[in-house]
Each structure stands twice: as C-alpha cells, then as structure tokens.
Amino acid sequence: MLIGKVVGSVVSTRKNDKLVGNKFMIIELSEKMVEKSKQIIAIDNIGAGIGEYVLVATGSAARIGCGMEMAPVDAAVVGIIDDGSRLE
C-alpha cells in the first residue's frame, strides 16, 4: 500500500455504470513513496476528508478488497492514518 494525502476530488457525470455513487479523491502520494508530487485518483468509502493522510491500496486489491469486484477501480482509500502529519 502507499500513503498519501487527500488534496481534492474530481467529478465525472458521464462514467462507467459500475462507478455510479463513488467519490473520486485526488491523492497526493507521499514523496517517500513516489517521485515528487505524484498523484493518483482513488475511490473512498472510508470517508476521508481533505488534508487527511490515507492508506491507498492499488491494483486488484482495490477492487476485490472493497467489495467492487466487477467495477473498473484500481485504487482505493482503505484506511486513514492516525497522526499522519508526523509522516511529512
């Protein structure tokens, strides 16, 4: 998994049916984990807010582990880090 900070969200009205009802969060991945400033878009059904540090699962883990086995999802917020600011 990777750690990142929620920095925003994107809205997509025309989308794959299986994605309806999901929030698409913009996650700024930690510079310790990726190149500088790299972002990904992850669904969130944990309820992370802007500025929170989160654990992001990628690949088939995001889809299967979040009960969305048949949806085109490749990244998901799977936890909110306690005291995440210490990671900066």
Residue 6 vs 75, nearer CB to a copy of itself = 75
Beta bridge partner(s), residue 86:
none
Distance of closest approach, residue 5 Cβ to a copy of itself, in angstroms: 13
Who's near 42: CB < 8 A, 6+ residues apart? 24, 25, 27, 54, 56, 62, 75, 76, 77
Task: Give contact residues for a copy of itself (rule: CB under 8 A).
Answer: 1-3, 10-16, 18-19, 24, 30, 32-35, 37-42, 46-47, 55, 57-66, 69-76, 78-83, 87
Q: In the bound complex, what is the minimum distance in angstroms from residue 9's beta carbon to a copy of itself?
A: 11
Cα 29 from Cα 31, distance rounded (Å): 6
Least distance from a copy of itself to the Cβ atom of residue 61, Å: 4
Q: Which is nearer to a copy of itself, 6 or 76 (CB)?
A: 76
* Residue 73 per-residue DSSP state: -
